[in-house]
């Protein structure tokens, strides 16, 4: 059980008092689901080939090389399931506390867990578009074709041009609609809850201080120090899963009382 001076209890108290929470999630919420991050020394971007091919120009130059460079990651994402931290945000939404989730992750686990208002700043691997005609595609069946050896670069069912997942690649800007929606939500919140982000990737990392400037409180749960820690009302330096389980217990319905004898 958390002590009253425990940082986790301080963060839970902020959540309890808040009415309009925006959660901001980074790689830490997904690594606990078994998905590798991108920027650590062993992350996806530590591979120079990935840096080359996971770019807009790399995809245009050689879609097959793009899929070869990304299949390991996408196969891992396909097997991943939401964590306690994802479930915590769903529970807080059920209680009317969380108004929006802003995420830097492409795995779609927030939506899979049941969060209804998610701004995916870097897109999602679960859907895709034809690079020529723009037709919508669900990516899972296309990845299955690659795994079965039926294709090395899936083509559009309408025009046969290469299909690419709806993720933000190197050389590309964030999707305008997702960014504007996130900024608007942040401007209305009374608490911003950062979960598993080192806050080093911009412009997404600007959002916590936007919330503080608009009068919201800030709570950060992350293994490492962030540039926003000094502005936070609560900082939990530890594993996200441990905090999520403590918070889930705090916001779960009380068990029914035993029948009187």
Superfamily of domain 38-79+125-167 in CATH is SIR2/SIRT2 'Small Domain' (3.30.1600.10)
**Could you please report the per-residue DSSP string of 50-116?**
HHHHSBHHHHHH-HHHHHHHHHHHHHHHHH----HHHHHHHHHHHTT-EEEEEE--SS-HHHHHT-S
Q: Is the distance from CB of 129 to CB of 53 less than 8 angstroms?
A: no
Residues of the chain with CATH 3.40.50.1220: 1-35+82-122+174-252
Residue 110 known to be catalytic: no
Supply the pLDDT for residue 49: 62
Supply the pLDDT for residue 162: 96
Both structure tokens of 60? 């245009």
- If pLDDT is split at 50, 70 and 90, which confidence band does 2 have? very low
Mean pLDDT of 199-214: 95
Q: Coil, strand, or helix at residue 128? A: strand
Q: Is the pLDDT of residue 211 over 50?
A: yes
Superfamily of domain 1-35+82-122+174-252 in CATH is TPP-binding domain (3.40.50.1220)
pLDDT tens column, 122-151: 999 999 999 999 999 999 999 999 989 999
Q: Is the pLDDT of residue 76 over 70?
A: yes
Supply the pLDDT for residue 46: 46
Phi-psi label, residue 202: left if phi above 0, alpha if psi -120 to 50, beta otherwise:
beta
- CA angle, residues 69, 75, 78, in degrees to nearest 5: 140
The catalytically annotated residue of 86, 110, 122, 137 is 122
**Could you please report the per-residue DSSP string of 178-216?**
HHHHHHHHHHH-SEEEEES--S-STTGGGHHHHHHHTT-
Residues of the chain with CATH 3.30.1600.10: 38-79+125-167
Q: Is the pLDDT of residue 75 over 90?
A: no
Q: Is the pLDDT of residue 184 over 90?
A: yes
d(CA 143, CA 35): 17
């Amino acid at each position: 059980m958390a002590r009253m001076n425990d940082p986790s209890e301080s963060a839970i108290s902020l959540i309890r008092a808040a009415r309009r929470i925006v959660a901001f999630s980074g790689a830490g919420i997904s690594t606990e689901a078994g998905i590798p991050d991108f920027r650590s020394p062993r992350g996806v971007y530590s591979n120079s080939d990935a840096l080359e091919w996971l770019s807009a120009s790399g995809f245009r130059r050689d879609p097959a090389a793009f899929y070869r460079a990304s299949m390991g990651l996408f196969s891992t994402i396909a097997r991943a399931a939401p964590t306690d931290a994802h479930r915590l945000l769903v529970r807080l939404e059920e209680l009317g506390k969380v108004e929006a989730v802003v995420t830097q992750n492409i795995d779609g686990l927030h939506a899979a867990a049941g969060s209804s208002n998610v701004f995916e700043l870097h897109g999602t691997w679960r859907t895709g578009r034809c690079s020529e005609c723009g037709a919508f595609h669900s990516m899972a069946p296309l990845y299955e074709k690659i795994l079965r050896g039926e294709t090395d670069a899936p083509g559009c069912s309408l025009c046969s041009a290469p299909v690419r997942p709806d993720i933000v690649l190197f050389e590309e800007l964030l999707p305008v609609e997702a960014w504007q929606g996130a900024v608007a939500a942040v401007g209305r919140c009374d608490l911003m809850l950062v979960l598993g982000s080192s806050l080093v990737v911009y412009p997404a990392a600007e959002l916590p201080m936007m919330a503080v400037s608009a009068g919201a409180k800030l709570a950060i749960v992350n293994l490492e120090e962030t540039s926003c820690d000094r502005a936070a009302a609560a900082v939990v330096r530890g594993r996200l899963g441990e905090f999520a389980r403590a918070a889930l217990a705090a916001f779960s319905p009380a068990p029914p009382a035993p029948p009187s004898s």
